[in-house]
């Protein structure tokens, strides 16, 4: 993305909220209900090594998935899991070409015609 | 690890259980209570591109964190989150040299003497 700051600004102007995942933020369990009740589209910022202060001050929520250093991928996974209340694990894609049939052992995949 | 198969075998001989995270397995929500009630130490296998069939047949549980291709790190995060029932987010280390104080904006870190 060429200009992430103007992207954030436009997102907010268009009525969305901005969530920045950072170990310095507020515990997710304390704010998740508030975020869900806003019922707005969410832009999620997941930083890597160095995130400019600007993003802390222009995000609507700075949220910690635990106040420890952690994997950004793991933080994103837990955040989405809380947003979807676990329902993301059961999502089926109506246009899927392949479907996995859960198995105790081994693999079973079917082709959808 | 030089010999992962004998590691798995020894783990089971020593009374532990083996959980293999794979999109081909059973939905986690269906088996998490059973795993927790076993109350045994857990070896978690998280495969990358190609996992030998041996591990499917020698794991006690093949578990899917959603039956879709996904990040292994994300799958591990969700599995641990289910095992700890979300409590992992509040873990404090008694010997921590630094502690993060959650903030709405910005960063606050204190040194523990």
Average pLDDT over residues B16-30: 96
The segments of chain A whose pLDDT lies below 70 read none
Q: Which residues pair with B17 in a beta bridge?
A: B42
DSSP B5: H
Contact A102 B26 (CB under 8 A): yes
B chain contacts of residue A19, beta-carbon cutoff 8 Å? none
B26 touches chain A (CB under 8 A): yes
Average pLDDT over residues B28-37: 96
A4-111 topology per CATH: Alpha/beta knot (3.40.1280)
The alpha helices in chain A, defined as continuous H runs, are 4-13, 28-38, 53-58, 72-84
**Is B75's pLDDT higher than 80?**
yes
Contact B102 A71 (CB under 8 A): no
What pLDDT, on the 0 to 100 scale, is given for residue A16? 98
What is the Cα–Cα distance from A69 to B95, expressed in whole angstroms? 16
Domain boundaries, chain B: 4-111
Average pLDDT over residues B34-60: 94
Average pLDDT over residues B70-80: 94
Distance from CA of A59 to the nearest CA of B (A): 9
- pTM of the predicted protein model: 0.92
What pLDDT, on the 0 to 100 scale, is given for residue A49? 78
């Amino acid at each position: 993305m060429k200009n992430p700051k103007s992207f954030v600004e436009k997102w907010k102007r268009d009525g969305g909220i901005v969530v920045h995942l950072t170990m310095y933020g507020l515990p997710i369990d304390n704010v998740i209900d508030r975020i869900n009740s806003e019922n707005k589209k969410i832009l999620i910022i997941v930083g890597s090594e160095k995130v400019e202060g600007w993003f802390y001050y222009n995000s609507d929520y700075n949220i910690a998935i635990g106040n420890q250093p952690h994997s950004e991928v793991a933080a994103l996974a837990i955040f989405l899991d809380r947003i979807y209340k676990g329902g993301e694990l059961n999502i089926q894609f109506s246009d899927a070409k392949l479907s996995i049939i859960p198995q105790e052992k081994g693999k079973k995949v079917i082709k959808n015609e």
